[in-house]
């Protein structure tokens, strides 16, 4: 068992920290809105910290799952950031979906200060976090990964080191590229079927057993067909992620025409009032 801190108790971080505590680790939590951290401690036990630095002091591993690069920089390098208090030989594991650039920046700062850093974004959504079934894509050093991996498995079904610092974030970008294309294809198929008068449930039951099968089809077609879009990953978050993808693509020369197009489709969903709808709401744009 280790002494661990968790920074950021949003829809992902809250249950991830809970799984750490349930596995017997000693857990300290920090959240920008203190009331959320107080609620977590009242439910789970553990200790509440008022700043990231206070949370990180004396810990073996510090986890973070916050909003974006700016939030991450604030909780790590800010005036009361965790990096000011990390112990020599400790490990900082970042589960934020952020840029590869900040992952490399923070790895460098951590190495200079004598502790480890892993960029480790996750896939599996809120349900994966609640059920402890996340997939974790990791960038960093092998030795650091070997220390952190058994603890990461408290809330994950798989965690793999994919390369140097930044590789975890690059893998998450690939993940989001795949999701964007699949969801758009599923939305168009359901829209096409409705326009043709097909029995959507009957058709999906058949084609989901063939080459068209996907996680999105299995888990989202019923709610899409019912016009319900309040499940899982929000459009605002997907646009943030696709923005990171497209910026990286401009930097590395990758051609991402479909990703750019779907990003604009999501912008239209936002304009329809769907900022907090889940990503399957691409269908709502087609049915306006």
Choosing from 23, 84, 172, 222, which is the catalytic residue?
172
CB 26 within 8 Å of CB 46? yes
CB 269 within 8 Å of CB 285? yes
- Any catalytic annotation for residue 172? yes
Three-state SS sequence of the chain: CCEEEEECCCCCHHHHHHHHHHCCCEEEEECCCHHHHHHHHHHHCCEECCCHHHHHCCCCEEEECCCCHHHHHHHHHCCCCHHHCCCCCCEEEECCCCCHHHHHHHHHHHHHHCCEEEECCEECHHHHHHCCCEEEEEECCHHHHHHHHHHHCCCEEEEEECCCCCHHHHHHHHHHHHHHHHHHHHHHHHHHHHHCCCCHHHHHHHHCCCCCCCHHHHHHHHHHHCCCCCCCCEHHHHHHHHHHHHHHHHHHCCCCHHHHHHHHHHHHHHHCCCCCCEHHHHHHHHCC
The whole-angstrom distance between residue 25's C-alpha and the CA centroid of its chain comes to: 22
Between CA 234 and CA 129 the distance in angstroms is 15
Tokens 């401690």 appear where? 41
Active site residues: 172
């Amino acid at each position: 068992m280790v002494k661990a801190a968790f920074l950021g108790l949003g829809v992902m971080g809250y249950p991830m920290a809970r799984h750490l505590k349930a596995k017997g680790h000693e857990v300290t939590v920090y959240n920008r809105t203190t009331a959320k951290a107080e609620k977590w401690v009242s439910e789970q036990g553990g200790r509440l910290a008022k700043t990231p630095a206070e949370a990180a002091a004396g810990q073996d591993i510090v986890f973070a799952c916050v909003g974006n690069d700016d939030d991450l920089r604030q909780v790590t390098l800010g005036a009361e950031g965790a990096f000011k208090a990390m112990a020599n030989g400790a490990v900082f594991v970042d589960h934020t979906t952020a840029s590869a650039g900040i992952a490399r920046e923070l790895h460098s700062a951590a190495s200079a200060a004598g502790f480890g850093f892993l960029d480790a974004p996750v896939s599996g959504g809120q349900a994966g976090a609640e059920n402890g079934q996340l997939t974790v894509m990791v960038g960093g050093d092998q030795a650091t990964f070997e220390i952190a991996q058994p603890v990461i498995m408290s809330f994950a079904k798989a965690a793999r080191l994919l390369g140097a610092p930044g590789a975890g974030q690059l893998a998450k970008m690939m993940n989001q590229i795949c999701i964007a294309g699949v969801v758009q294809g599923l939305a168009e198929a359901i829209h096409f079927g409705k326009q043709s008068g097909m029995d959507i449930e009957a058709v999906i039951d058949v084609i989901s057993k063939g080459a068209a099968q996907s996680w999105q089809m299995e888990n989202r077609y019923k709610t899409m067909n019912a016009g319900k879009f309040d499940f899982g990953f929000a459009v605002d978050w997907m646009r943030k992620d696709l923005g990171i993808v497209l910026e990286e693509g401009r930097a590395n020369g990758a051609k991402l025409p479909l990703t750019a197009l779907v990003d604009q489709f999501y912008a239209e969903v936002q304009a329809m009032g769907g900022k907090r709808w889940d990503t399957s709401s691409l269908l709502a744009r087609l049915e306006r």
